[in-house]
Amino acid sequence: MNNELWEIGGKTLQSRLLIGSALYPSPSKMEDAIKISGAQIVTVSLRRQAAGEGENAASQFWDIIKDLNIHVLPNTAGSHSAKEAITTAQMAREVFGTNWVKLEVIGDQYNLQPDPFETVKAAEVLIKEGFEVFPYTTDDLVVAKRLADVGCKIIMPWGSQIGSGKGLMNPDNLLAIRKQFPSLQLIIDAGIGKPSHATKAMELGYDGVLLNSAIALAADPIKMANAFRLAIEAGRLGYEAGVMQKRDFASASTPTIGTPFWHQVD
């Protein structure tokens, strides 16, 4: 594992992979996948915990999460208004004992696109209440600016729609956000379908990648978790090393001027 440390939300970490805890075929698969991924942040839905699959299932799930000894990032999944998201965040702080919250306010049920107006409104209130807000948003530069204006130190634009697996639909938009906010922590959240998508996100200079479906729904979640761990490390190292720029024309890697040529002597 790359030993480089980085900071987010007041915590110092090694892994730049944030992982979800839903959709796995079994609790043991979830546990093993999270372990092999090296992730140090796991997202947990308060609504899932409240609804659950029975008391025993909820207890088993929470025991696994606690035993992993990693940071929990509760989310407000399922919220459709700022008021609903704020209430869910306040409950999550009590349940999970953390001021971190992944802020999701869905504006469209068809493509699960976040509502930019309600998201900014909720973020402003939660920051004033002492939360460290991880807002899920689109790749819209203006929305990112509004979130930064109300005090967000972390912004999480999507790569594409939640669960779509399409990867980075608009890399130019994502790059513009990165350039506009060099001092903010930027995490790609949603739409990542395969390891190469995560590598691309890291090569753009993003600080991390949050994903769930691509691992949980893979034929082998454990191998896929390992693949994403390596992909994110490779992408970050490539960014730090300085990825070569594209060229319009071919350029030989070995120069021909001044080099000897062997020829047969009669």
Which residues carry out catalysis?
Answer: 102
Range list of H helices, the chain: 27-37, 46-51, 55-68, 82-96, 116-128, 141-149, 171-180, 195-203, 213-216, 221-241
Query: Which amino acid makes up residue 108?
Result: D
Q: Pick the closest to residue 104 from 72, 59, 130, 137 (CA basis).
A: 137
Q: Which of 76, 78, 45, 77 is nearest to 61 (CA)?
A: 45
Return d(Cα 15, Cα 208) in angstroms, integer: 8
Give the HSE-up count for residue 66: Cα atoms under 13 Å, Cβ half-sphere.
Answer: 9
Give the pair of three-digit tokens for residue 155.
């912004």
Q: DSSP label at 31? A: H
Please name the residue that has the structure tokens 């209440």. Answer: 129
The token pair that represents 82 in the structure block? 């700022």
Distances (CA, A) of 239 to 91, 143, 189: 39, 25, 19
What are the angstrom distances between the C-alpha of 100 and each of 16, 91, 94, 123?
17, 12, 11, 12
- Cα–Cα separations (whole angstroms), residue 55 to 11, 51, 60, 62: 32, 9, 9, 11
